[in-house]
Amino acid sequence: MSLPSLADTSALIRQRRSIKPVDMDAARPVETVLLTELIENATWAPNHGMTEPWKFHVFSGSSRQRLADGLSTLYQQTTPASEFREDKLQKMGSNPLLAPVIIACVMERSGGGKIPEMEEIEAVSCAMQNLMLSATAAGLGSFWSSPPVLDTAEFQNWLGIRSQDRCLGLLYLGWPKPGFTWPRSARQPVAGKITWHHD
């Protein structure tokens, strides 16, 4: 079996950037075959006990309006007055319409309590990273959004998931608008992040 080169893998990881929904072409669909391949790649994330704790709720077409309406309503219902922001409400109602696809990524508890919840959350987070890296390789932009409303019982009920499950984020996917320049970024020197232990 031939493995991808480290250079190619490093380039892909370092090229991945968050592309906001406003920079996506909402009119250009993402084909179901491609979406299925991206999600298939997500499921190859490491997971303790092979519980495969991920579930993906895909919103496209007119269902994006239902998501936008649901997020807006639930934000109004669940946000304390002291934390309420009109600009956040507007984003809840508009962002799902700016991207052609939104995937609600859920950690579904299925290990009977044998696997700690944190490990299941970490597994789904790895799956989401797999999906975003795969999207980048396909030329798609991706954006991971995790507004507090996702943690509410009201949103769990709206999405149809159990109280022990958690939606870890909404992944917005879309082709960048024509003329979009892929952003660049930087990281702090890795030497300052490593503690070496020898012998």
CA dist., res. 9 & res. 97, Å (int): 32
Beta bridge partners of 104: 57, 170
**Six-digit token pair at 3?**
């493995």
Q: Is the pLDDT of residue 197 over 90?
A: yes
- HSE-CB for 9 with a 13 A CA cutoff: 5
Residues 6+ positions from 38 with CB-CB distance below 8 Å: 131, 134, 135, 138, 140, 173
CA distances from 44 to 33, 39, 73 (A): 17, 9, 35
- CATH T-level assignment (fold) for domain 18-177: NADH Oxidase (3.40.109)
Task: Give the HSE-up count for residue 132: Cα atoms under 13 Å, Cβ half-sphere.
Answer: 22
**Biggest CA pair distance of the chain:** 60
User: Which tokens go with 58?
Assistant: 């895909």
In the DSSP assignment, the letter for residue 180 is P
Tell whether the model's pLDDT for residue 111 goes beyond 70.
Answer: no
Confidence class for position 175, pLDDT limits 50, 70, 90: very high
User: What are the tens digits of pLDDT across the range 67-87?
Assistant: 999 999 999 999 999 999 999
pLDDT of residue 113: 77
DSSP letters along 13-40, please? HHH--B--GGGB-TTS---HHHHHHHHH
Q: What is the pLDDT of residues 115-127, one digit of tens each?
A: 999 999 999 999 9
Sketch the domain layout of the chain as residue ranges.
Answer: 18-177
| Average confidence score pLDDT of the chain | 96
Instruction: Report the alpha-carbon distance of residue 127 to residue 120 in Å, rounded.
Output: 11
Q: Determine the average pLDDT of the residues in 137-166.
A: 97
Predicted pLDDT of residue 110: 82
- Where does the chain show beta strands of DSSP type E? 54-60, 101-107, 141-145, 166-174
| Tokens 């609600």, located at residue | 104
Q: What mean pLDDT do residues 138-142 have?
A: 98
